[in-house]
Amino acid sequence: MSAQTSPVPGSDAPEPNGVVEPTGVVRCGGEPAGRRGPLDHAGADWAGLRVLVTGLGVSGFAAADALLERGALVRAVDSGSSEALTERCRILEVLGADLVLGEDAATALADDHDRLLQGIDLVVTSPGWRPTTPLFVAADAWGIPVWGEVELAWRMRPEGAAPWVTITGTNGKTTTVQMLHSIFTAAGLRSRAVGNVGTPIMEAVLDPEPYDVLAVELSSFQLHWQNSVSPVASVCLNLAPDHIDWHGSYEEYVAAKGRVYANTHVACVYNVEDAATEKLVEDADVVEGCRAVGFTLGTPGLSMVGVVEDVLADRAFVEERRTAAAELGTVADLQRGSITPPRHVVANALAAAALARAVGVEPVAVRDGLRVFTPEAHRIAEVARSGDITWIDDSKATNPHAATASLQAFDPVVWIAGGLLKGADVDDLVRDNAHRLRGAVLLGRDRARLAEALARHAPEVPVVDVEQTDTGAMTRIVAEAAALARPGDVVLLAPAAASMDMFRNYEVRGEEFAAAVHAHLGH
Question: To the nearest whole percent, how much of the chain has pLDDT over 70?
Answer: 95
What would the DSSP string read from start to end of 427-443?
A: HHHHHHHGGGEEEEEE-
Q: What is the mean pLDDT of residues 130-134?
A: 92
CATH of segment(s) 153-372: 3.40.1190.10
Taking only Cα atoms into account, the Rg of the chain, rounded to an integer number of angstroms, comes to 24
Tell me whether residue 369 is annotated as binding: no
Tell me whether residue 173 is annotated as binding: yes
pLDDT at 429 over 70: yes
- Smallest Cα–Cα separation from 450: which of 403, 485, 510, 501? 403
- The pLDDT value recorded for residue 36 is 63
Neighbour tally for 189: CB within 10 Å: 18
Give residue 470's pLDDT band: very low, low, confident or very high (50, 70, 90): confident
- The pLDDT value recorded for residue 128 is 83
pLDDT at 308 over 80: yes
Taking the alpha carbons at both ends of the chain, their separation in whole angstroms is 51
pLDDT at 21 over 70: no
Contacts of 310 (CB under 8 A, 6+ apart): 330, 331, 332
Give residue 6's pLDDT band: very low, low, confident or very high (50, 70, 90): very low
Asked if 267 and 243 touch (Cβ cutoff 8 Å), the reply is no
Tell me whether residue 510 is annotated as binding: no
**Structure letter (DSSP) for residue 336:** B
State how far the alpha carbon of 153 is from the alpha carbons of 232, 392, 498, in Å.
16, 38, 29
The 10s digit of each residue's pLDDT in 482-516 is: 999 999 999 999 999 999 999 999 999 999 999 99
In angstroms, rounded to a whole number, what is the distance separating the alpha carbons of residues 263 and 288?
A: 9
Asked if 25 and 132 touch (Cβ cutoff 8 Å), the reply is yes
Q: What is the mean pLDDT of residues 359-377?
A: 95
Asked if 220 and 255 touch (Cβ cutoff 8 Å), the reply is no
Containing H/E element for 281? helix 275-283
Asked if 268 and 286 touch (Cβ cutoff 8 Å), the reply is yes
The 10s digit of each residue's pLDDT in 210-250 is: 999 999 999 999 999 999 999 999 999 999 888 888 888 99
- The pLDDT value recorded for residue 457 is 97
pLDDT at 12 over 70: no
- The pLDDT value recorded for residue 44 is 82
Residue-averaged pLDDT of the chain? 91
- 5 class by beta-carbon count within 10 Å (0-12 exposed, 13-18 middle, 19+ buried): buried
Higher pLDDT, 107 or 9: 107
The 10s digit of each residue's pLDDT in 164-189 is: 999 999 999 999 999 999 999 999 99
Class of domain 50-144: alpha beta
**Amino acid sitting at position 248:** G
pLDDT at 9 over 60: no
Tell me whether residue 175 is annotated as binding: yes
- The pLDDT value recorded for residue 261 is 98
Output 157-161 pairs: Cβ under 8 A, ≥24 positions apart.
157/42, 157/205, 158/42, 158/205, 158/206, 158/210, 159/41, 159/42, 159/43, 160/210, 161/42, 161/205, 161/210
3-state secondary structure 367-398: HHHHHHCCCCCCCCEEEEEECCEEEEECCCCC
- The pLDDT value recorded for residue 322 is 82
Give residue 472's pLDDT band: very low, low, confident or very high (50, 70, 90): confident
Q: How far is CA 365 from the centre of its chain?
A: 26
List the chain domain ranges.
50-144, 153-372, 381-521
- The pLDDT value recorded for residue 198 is 83
State how far the alpha carbon of 268 is from the alpha carbons of 67, 174, 290, 320, 351, in Å.
32, 18, 7, 21, 11
The 10s digit of each residue's pLDDT in 70-80 is: 999 999 999 99
Backbone φ, ψ for residue 471 (5° rounding): -65, -15
Positive or negative, the Cα torsion across 148, 152, 155, 157? negative
CATH fold of 381-521:
Protein-Tyrosine Phosphatase; Chain A (3.90.190)
Tell me whether residue 170 is annotated as binding: yes
Give residue 10's pLDDT band: very low, low, confident or very high (50, 70, 90): very low
Tell me whether residue 174 is annotated as binding: yes
- The pLDDT value recorded for residue 45 is 87
Asked if 98 and 1 touch (Cβ cutoff 8 Å), the reply is no
- The pLDDT value recorded for residue 25 is 82
The 10s digit of each residue's pLDDT in 243-280 is: 888 888 999 999 999 999 999 999 999 999 999 999 99
Give residue 13's pLDDT band: very low, low, confident or very high (50, 70, 90): very low
Tell me whether residue 96 is annotated as binding: no
Asked if 138 and 186 touch (Cβ cutoff 8 Å), the reply is no
